Structure 1
Amino acid sequence: MGKEQIIREALALPETAIDYHVSQYLAEKFPEKVLVEGNDTLFNVETYARAGHCSLEVQTFIHNQVITDWQGSELSSGIPTMIARFGGFMEKTAGESSEEEISDSSKNAWFTVQWKDNTLDILVMHWPTGFSRVIYAYWILCDSHQIAKDFIQEVCRWNAEVRGEVLVFSGSCWKKDAQLFQAIQGASFDNLILRGNLKQQIREDLERFFTMRQTYDEYNIPWKRGVLLVGPPGNGKTHTVKALINALNMPCLYVKSFRAEHSTDEDNIHAVFDRARKSAPCILVLEDLDSLLNEENRSFFLNELDGFASNTGIVTLATTNHPEKLDPAILDRPSRFDRKYPFDLPEQPERLAYITLWNETLKPALRISEAGAVRLSELAAGFSFAYLKELFLSSMMHWVGSAGQETMEQAMIDQVDVLREQMVSTPDTSEEPPQPKLPSPRRRMRIQLS
């Protein structure tokens, strides 16, 4: 195996022999160097170098396989923000641009790294196995074991930290998303409308948790928390999750899916909880939990959530639109989800508060009267917050199309019937809408929480 062909020759070997043969070759080829081998996916030297913590040079004596992905926005900057379709935790706002739309990552490559006056040669490789998994491995050549181990520790620690980003799990791997973090910054408890004192209860619950580790330890209570937000779509669950992330200022790990082409659900569930344990204290977000779980992966998920492994410092924050699809072992066992908060359809006081909040964001020509807001809050009985938002957007477009011949108030009254027909013919599957950035309305309704 020649130095220039090491990757090609290694990948031609049986998958169970690749790492051993590469290690043997490097040890024989570079006897004057110390060889350290690892496979921790947190060892991403490229992201560490891009942050300026070391310099990295890709060696050209070997053919390096580099994967280039486009990370651009899905929305055109020409779409006005107010009429763009919002929804869901992973939303992108109109006009949003990525600082780095093209992203390169090395699949198989040889690097020379300069770090703290040390020179390290690093070979990274990926190869598939027969179990629909991808094996990741790296080899470090340097002057001492201590230098190699210190470097691995620094790189892994840095990559484990979440700083001004959301850590997103998709396709069996984690990716730091600063753009998503910025997109959720507009969500707060001040612009969230919920029934009674529900939002205060949720916020105080988790704020107390993160400040009471010493108390939990003193009384031998496991310092972990499971919170499930339950209710039909469009009623504030996602907005609440975003507001909590902003208010608690804790690392956030967001799971898009446990499914991936080259790995099993069990592998991915383990990877999710393993990373959460390394990032704790943190918030692990499982949006639409019922869609993440199935009969095959449910048992493994429960073992990771409440098994032998410690989940110290982890708040597992899940949402579901369909609690009936969840196993009773998830819904009814307190040690898994300690609290379940109901997110029901808004009643008239909440509808009026939401309409008032939106109305104050409009330009004067579009605003409706206080009496009109009250009338609309009564006419829109049964509307979710998502449909109330759609009421404003569709009415604005109708008003623009009529060239101002009809008042905004009349347009909204007309649109109530149109949207109600849509509600009857099509179930509301939209996600929670972003709320206008205004102070909380004074009017509230108290309810008895289950």
Structure 2
Amino acid sequence: MTAGTLTTRPGPPRNETASRYFEHSSAPRINTDAVIVEALRADYPELHITVVPQQGNDLFAYASAGHASLAAIDKEKDRLTWKIFLPPANRLSGQRGALADSVKLGKYLLDWQGKEYVVCVANGRDGTNAYPNVTNQYILSASVEATNKLLFESGAWNSELHNEIFVFDGGFWQKSAELWESVQKSNWEDVILDEGMKKAIISDVENFFDSRETYERLKVSWKRGIIYYGPPGNGKTISIKAMMNSLYKRKIPVPTLYVKTLASFAGPEYSINQIFTLARRTAPCYLVFEDLDSIVDDRVRSYFLNAVDGIQKNDGILMVGSTNHLDRLDPGIAKRPSRFDRKYLFPNPDAGEREKYMKYWQRKLADNRDLEFPDKLCPAVAGITGGFSFAYLQEAVVASLLAIARDADGFSESVCLECLEVHDVRGGKSGSARCEGEGKRVFRGLYDWVCVVRRLEGEDPDLEGYVLWREIRKQVRILKEELGEEKGGR
């Protein structure tokens, strides 16, 4: 061997499966399935072969859950894998992520209930335009009965939810453990609504799932549709999540199917078919369309209406759709009975509901010994926040708490009420007592006058001694100016 040259020794020949796969993948191809099956028959002439798409019956997920053991049996040169980095689900967890293999071609030994199976995994094409790439699992065993038993049990497990929620996005259903975890933190006790409406919403849904026999006795379809509508930030989403949580806690849990979008590579009509196919199979279920007006547009309206109220039965499906713009919904959806039967308006909260919301925050902050939150602050805040949504109320409270925490840490910069920008409010931008940016506030005179009049006429002078009140009043003033500009723009 001379300098700068390398000699290699020929290794053992590849097995037939690997050889045919690499040969097939390096040239124009139509159906990977046929190539792999033929190669496996040559490698294992004595075993029975069953082909199973990984989507819908994932043997790897089944084994990872502890129901079977799986180990690679092929050589490294006979495998095709992608090494991928999985970032941590949450940076605050302290973890940095992990490396994982995405298998394009591999062979494994699966041990299940004392029986062994050879499982080959291959990614390729199935010969159609709709699904250009698929991953199939090729199960080899001594008998058809043994394979069928394995596939039935793993298929049943894969079709069930395990602390997950079905989410439709990108044209297919997937299971989300993250959404399920989020829903577990949503309770009706945290939902501030008119008590009569809250009870009506809860009983409407609970009674539906309790009344199957009544519907059947009356010879009417056991299905229902509800619309939540109103300006944003007033409890539609949290009400849906609280309902999802309570349905999961029933003696016989009711699963949720959550639709984010109809967009898919195969078109929205395909998506609607996929959505209602799973809903009918999963029923009784709670089928959620959030932002219904953006999901169902003119292009798919008729197809959607046919799926909702066509010849196919939707027994056991309770649909709920939320929208900030009821006027944008087609009358065939919003006004036609038997599609969406009930509509609940979520308006901006009145003074009593705003006071309840502040009491909710008072309970949340009860263990904070550094912050005074007297009872009289709740009606006082309710009195100065007319026209606020719950989202604006939350912003006022959260921004106030952050400002108080920042000041406690020694920061002197804050939001200046003259220019609505952040700088040292004690000396102005240039060190003077007057802010140079005051002229930027278009509504300055109006809001200053309203603030002064309300303080003189309706405020308790003792509230001035509480830092939380002073900060909330400041944040409310800023938010009201934003609301004024929005209304002026409209």
Q: TM-score, normalized by length of structure 2?
A: 0.74
Q: Which amino acid aligns with 2:263?
A: R
Cα 1:285–1:112, aligned 2, differ >3 Å: closer, same or farther?
Answer: farther
Unaligned runs of at least 5 residues, structure 1: 78-95, 428-450
Compute the displacement of 1:117 (Å).
1.9
Are the aligned partners of 2:57 and 2:151 in contact in 1 as well (CA < 8 Å)? yes
Q: 1:107, CA displacement in angstroms?
A: 4.9
Aligned residue in 2 for 1:375: 380
Separation of aligned partners in 2, 1:173 and 1:72: 24
Cα-Cα RMSD: 3.0
* 1:67–1:107 Cα contact (<8 Å) kept: no
* Higher mean C-alpha deviation, range 337-346 or range 42-51: 337-346
Match of 1:410 in 2: 470
1:110 aligns with 2:107: yes
Q: Write the distance in 1 (CA, Å) between the matches of 2:167 and 2:157.
A: 16
Contact 1:283/1:314 (CA < 8 Å) preserved in 2? yes
The residue correspondences of 1:224-373 to structure 2 (distance < 5 A) are 224-249=223-248, 250-260=254-264, 262-362=265-365, 363-373=368-378
1:177 paired residue number: 176
For 1:276 and 1:103, locate their aligned partners in 2 and report how far apart those are by CA, in whole Å.
Answer: 33
Q: Would the alpha carbon gap of residues 4 and 102 (structure 1) be closer, same or farther in structure 2, given more than 3 Å must change? A: closer
Could you say which residue in structure 2 is the equivalent of 1:398? 403
Aligned to 2:164: 165
Aligned: 1:64 with 2:80: yes
Measured in 1, the distance between the counterparts of 2:408 and 2:198 equals: 40
Report the secondary structure of 1:176's partner residue. strand
Cα 1:48–1:132 shift into 2, 3 Å: closer
Q: Which amino acid aligns with 1:303?
A: N
How far does the alpha carbon of each residue in 1:323-364 deviate from its partner, in whole angstroms, 9 at most, with x for none?
A: 233222222222222222211111111111111111222225
Query: Could you tell me which residue of structure 1 aligns to residue 187 of structure 2?
Result: 188
How many residues of Structure 1 are paired with residues of Structure 2 in the alignment? 407
Paired residues of 1:163 and 1:251 also in contact (CA < 8 A): no
1:207-226 matched pairs, under 5 angstroms: 207-226=206-225
Instruction: Mark the CA change 1:179 to 1:419 in structure 2 (over 3 Å): closer, same or farther.
Output: same
Q: 2:59 is matched by which residue type in structure 1?
A: V
In structure 2, C-alpha distance between the alignment counterparts of 1:235 and 1:104, rounded to whole Å: 44
Greater Cα shift, 55-64 or 346-355: 55-64
Question: For residues 229 and 12 of structure 1, do their structure 2 counterparts lie closer, same or farther at Cα, with a shift above 3 Å needed?
Answer: farther
Q: Secondary structure at the match of 1:222?
A: coil
Aligned equivalents of 1:369 and 1:47: distance in 2? 53
- Contact (CA 8 Å) 1:66, 1:108: kept in 2 or not? no
The DSSP-based 3-state class of the residue aligned with 1:295 is coil
Tell me what 2:453 maps to: none
How far the C-alpha of 1:203 sits from its partner, in A, is 1.0
**Offset of residue 113 of structure 1:** 1.5
> What is the rounded CA distance, in whole Å, between the counterparts of 1:135 and 1:273 in structure 2?
23
* 1:121 aligned residue (85, 100, 118): 118
Instruction: Determine helix, strand or coil for the equivalent of 1:368.
Output: coil
Quick one: which amino acid aligns to residue 473 of structure 2?
I
Q: Which residue of 1 aligns with 2:9?
A: none
SS in 2 for 1:360: helix
Question: Do residues 388 (structure 1) and 393 (structure 2) align?
Answer: yes
Give the whole-Å Cα distance in 1 for the aligned partners of 2:292 and 2:71: 43
Contact 2:225/2:320 (8 A) holds in 1: yes
What whole-Å deviation, never above 9, does each CA across 1:229-264 have from its counterpart, x for those lacking one?
11221111111111111111122222233324x443
TM-score normalized by the length of structure 1: 0.80
Supply the distance in 1 between the matched residues of 2:310 and 2:106 (Cα, whole angstroms): 38
Of the structure 1 ranges 279-288 and 345-354, higher mean CA displacement relative to structure 2 is found in: 279-288
Superposed CA deviations along residues 369-402 of structure 1, whole A, max 9, x for unmatched, are: 3333212112111111111011101111222344
Displacement, 1:198? 1.2
- The secondary structure found in structure 2 opposite 1:333 is coil
Unmatched segments (≥5 aa) in structure 2:
1-14, 249-253, 410-464
Q: For residue 120 of structure 2, give the secondary structure of its aligned residue in structure 1.
A: strand
> Retained in 1: the 8 A contact 2:280–2:315?
yes
Deviation (angstroms), 1:214: 2.5
Kept after mapping to 1: 8 A contact 2:17/2:40: no
Aligned residue identity for 2:324: N
Distance 2:246 2:323 in 1: 22
Partner of 1:22: 36
Which range moved further: 376-385 or 19-28? 19-28
What is the distance in 1 between the residues matched to 2:27 and 2:46? 26
Distance 1:351 1:120 in 2: 63
Query: 2-side partners of 1:399 and 1:215: how far apart?
Result: 56
Shift of 1:71: 5.6
Letter in 1 for 2:298: E
Of the two structures, which has the highest relative contact order with CA contacts closer than 8 Å and spacing of 6 or more?
Answer: 1
Going from structure 1 to structure 2, the CA distance change for 1:24 and 1:121 (only over 3 Å counts) comes to same
Residue by residue over 1:284-312, the C-alpha shift from the partner in whole angstroms, topping out at 9 and shown as x without a partner, is 22222222233333333333333333333
> Which structure shows the bigger proportion of residues in helix conformation?
2
Q: Kindly, what percent of the aligned residue pairs are identical?
A: 32
Cα pair 2:16 2:40 within 8 Å, conserved: no
Between structure 1 and structure 2, the one with the greater Rg is 2
Which residue of the partner structure matches residue 434 of structure 1? none
Q: Tell me, in whole angstroms, the C-alpha distance in 2 between the residues paired with 1:149 and 1:21.
A: 23
1:192-225 residue CA offsets vs partner (Å, 9 max, x unmatched): 1112411111111111121222222333322223
Instruction: Please state how far the C-alpha of 1:365 moved relative to its aligned partner.
Output: 3.9
SS of the counterpart of 2:67?
coil
Contact 1:359 1:367 in 2 (8 A): no
Q: Structure 1 CA distance, aligned partners of 2:279 and 2:95?
A: 26
Change in 2 beyond 3 A, CA 1:385/1:306: same
8 Å contact kept, 1:134–1:263: no
> How far did 1:102 drift?
6.5
CA 1:252/1:118 → structure 2, altered by over 3 Å: closer, same or farther? same
